[in-house]
Amino acid sequence: MTKILLHACCAPCATYVQEWLKQNDFAATGFFYNPNIYPWAEYEKRKKYMEYYSGIVDLPMTYIDNFLVPEAGRCDLCYENRLRRTAQYGKSKGFDSFSSTLLISPYQKHDLLKEIGEKVAGEEGIDFFYHDFREGYFKSRELAKRYNLYRQKYCGCSTSQKAREALYEQTA
């Protein structure tokens, strides 16, 4: 079984990814490191539901609290920060590889995530496991409803929050 450290952005995104990994002979441990989440109350809510979900499915978790928010609206810097920290932690704890639940979202910059993950893997000396988990996006939504998980309306940074609010104002 491959030991994989899975960067988990939130519980809903972890649902399908965690199931897929388990069914494909990966021993996953979750890694909640998300300094991009704004504001503090949102961070706490997402962490609380990750703790709740991981307890239900018996997913071991590590939580790293860091509130030095990267420059808002710079997805490249945010992805690199989170993936690098995941890779470093994974390498130090003897994991075979690392990946991220961000790979399930049709709203993330998927090619950029893959590029940064592979770059970080080479620099940190641990494999990056790439899989296009978007195939399970709608299943993850169903699972989130089944488990009664909080489903946020934006990526996490203040830029994505403001963009979502502007969209709602336009459609109201």
- pLDDT for 74 beyond 90: no
Per-residue pLDDT of 79-122, as tens digits, reads 999 999 999 999 999 999 999 999 999 989 999 999 999 999 99
Most confident of 2-6, 35-39, 168-172: 2-6
**How much is the pLDDT for 40?**
86
The span from the first CA to the last CA of the chain, in angstroms, equals 50
pLDDT-based confidence at residue 172 (cuts at 50, 70, 90): low
Domain extents for the chain?
2-171
What's the topology of domain 2-171? Answer: Rossmann fold (3.40.50)
Q: CA-CA distance, 119 to 114, in Å (whole number)?
A: 9
Could you report the per-residue pLDDT of 19-59, keeping only the tens digit for each?
999 999 999 999 999 998 888 889 999 999 999 999 999 99
CA 85 to CA 60: how far, in whole Å? 18
5 three-class SS: strand
Between CA 9 and CA 31 the distance in angstroms is 9
Phi, psi of 46 (to 5 degrees): -65, -40
Q: What is the pTM of this model?
A: 0.91
Confidence (pLDDT) at 159: 62
Q: What is the C-alpha to C-alpha distance for residues 18 and 24, in angstroms, rounded to an integer? A: 10
Mean pLDDT, the chain, rounded, equals 90
